[in-house]
Amino acid sequence: MPPPSWMTRRRWLQAAALCAASPTALLAHDYRAGKVLIDHPYAPPTPAAASTGAVYFRALHNQGNDLERLLGARCAVSTSVEIHQMTMDGDVMRMRALPALELPPGQELRPRHGGPLHLMLIGLRRPLSVGDRFALELEFERAGRKEVIVWVQQPRADRTEPSAPGTGHMH
Binding site for Cu ion (CB under 5 A): 84, 95, 120
For the bound state, the minimum distance from the C-beta of residue 70 to Cu ion, rounded and expressed in Å, comes to 15
For Cu ion, the closer of residues 36 and 120 by Cβ is: 120
Distance between CA atoms of residues 143 and 56, nearest Å: 20
Neighbour count for residue 171 (Cβ, 10 Å): 9
For the bound state, the minimum distance from the C-beta of residue 84 to Cu ion, rounded and expressed in Å, comes to 3
For Cu ion, the closer of residues 75 and 120 by Cβ is: 120
For the bound state, the minimum distance from the C-beta of residue 78 to Cu ion, rounded and expressed in Å, comes to 12
Distance between CA atoms of residues 137 and 105, nearest Å: 22
Torsion of CA 149, 100, 109, 156, to 10 degrees: -50
